[in-house]
Chains A and B, each alone.
Chain A
Amino acid sequence: MIRSEILRDIAPILRDQLVVCNIGLPSQELHMIDDQPTNFYMLGTMGLSSSIGLGLALAQPKTVISIDGDGSVLTNLGTLPTIANNVADNFILLIIDNGSYGSTGDQPTYAGKKTSLSKVAIACGCENVVECRDVDTGKVLQAAIDSKKMTVIVCKCDSGNINLPVITLDPVVIRHRFMEAVKA
């Protein structure tokens, strides 16, 4: 499965949660598949989905899912020790690991070579780390939500993209409706 197929698969689970979605194609795909006010689309700032999600989870009680990519986690690798040492049991980091920089033309990442992000997360001190196959993502994600334990999921999948439009929503509109959904 490629990332857009996984997002389509887990959209019914994401719909009821606060979601911080990574820059580029992941946000565009989620926006097209199932736009919700509970989705915060990152239009810029590669690497900070997990940081924004952790800050949000620490600030309020609802479950927060950060959808990240292997390339984005590699660019902000310092996020994993911060997550490990500031446990928020309402936080799930879902790393869709397709071993490539999808939004920029599928150049390979080191996560697709010798580097294991799940082992890095464990070494950083994250206590609940699950590496899963693409087809099991929904089941693993639902189990993480139900566990009410902070969880890092590394979903190994195929690289590949679909053609779709950019998000034209104004960032202030995205932020405002998201904050209203957080408060609701």
Chain B
Amino acid sequence: MSIDKRIVDDFVANGVSFITTVPCKQLAGVIEEVEARDEIFHIPANKEDEGMGLCAGAFMGGKRAAIIMQNTAIGVTINTLATLTQFYRLPLPMLISYRGELREPVSCQVEMAVHTKALLAQLNIPTYHFHWQKDVEEFDNILKYTFMCNKPVAILTDANFWGGYGDQ
């Protein structure tokens, strides 16, 4: 089974039916899979904080929501994470393309990569790092954990996890 299909299967199995996305090359396959599924309403966002607003509304409307984005978005969304998602205690799985890690070809991406885990730690956001493909086995548990504790939770997925940025 493809990694993209496995991830989206886990979203569906955990009742996630509303997903907003801001694209990254590494996430192209999973976004395509999200778009293809009848069980999921896919709404592309123009910016990640906007996407988190959409997710907040969808959750209050009774749907489990998630966001798929790049780690550069952590720089965009800190205020939203603190004053909306955390302040109102909203669950939000964040499937994040962890650019700037091992096998990254674009040097500028490293500049946000070196801050990513520190920023997430500063925000007390539970953070998981998928480096090997087998790490995806934890995804189902992470989703259950997110909706148990009503917090934003970060799943960082690096180029090695996706099979190498340059190979795609």
Q: Is the CB of A182 within 8 A of B62?
A: yes
Measured CA separation A57–B43 after assembly (Å): 13
If A44-B87, A82-B46 touch, whether A52 touches B62 (CB-CB below 8 Å) is no
Of the listed stretches A73-81, A100-108, A146-154, name the one at the interface; the rest are far from the partner chain. Answer: A73-81
Measured CA separation A48–B55 after assembly (Å): 11
- B49 part of interface (Cβ distance < 8 Å): yes
Q: Mark A141-184, 1 if CB is under 8 A from B, else 0.
A: 00000000000000000000000000000011011001100110
Residues in chain A near residue B58, CB distance under 8 A: 55-56, 58-59
Measured CA separation A159–B103 after assembly (Å): 54
Q: Is the CB of B45 within 8 A of A82?
A: yes
Q: Is the CB of A76 within 8 A of B60?
A: no
Residues in chain B near residue A174, CB distance under 8 A: 88
Measured CA separation A53–B55 after assembly (Å): 10
B50 touches which of A42, A44, A76 (Cβ 8 Å): A76
- B53 part of interface (Cβ distance < 8 Å): yes
Interface residues of A in 30-56 (CB under 8 A from B): 40, 42-45, 47-56
Q: Is the CB of B50 within 8 A of A58?
A: no
Measured CA separation A182–B61 after assembly (Å): 7
Measured CA separation A48–B87 after assembly (Å): 14
Q: Is the CB of A54 within 8 A of B57?
A: yes
Residue numbers of B with Cβ under 8 A of A are 18, 41, 43-47, 49-63, 65, 79-80, 82-84, 87-90
Residue numbers of A with Cβ under 8 A of B are 20, 40, 42-45, 47-60, 64, 76, 78-79, 81-82, 86, 171-172, 174-175, 178-179, 182-183
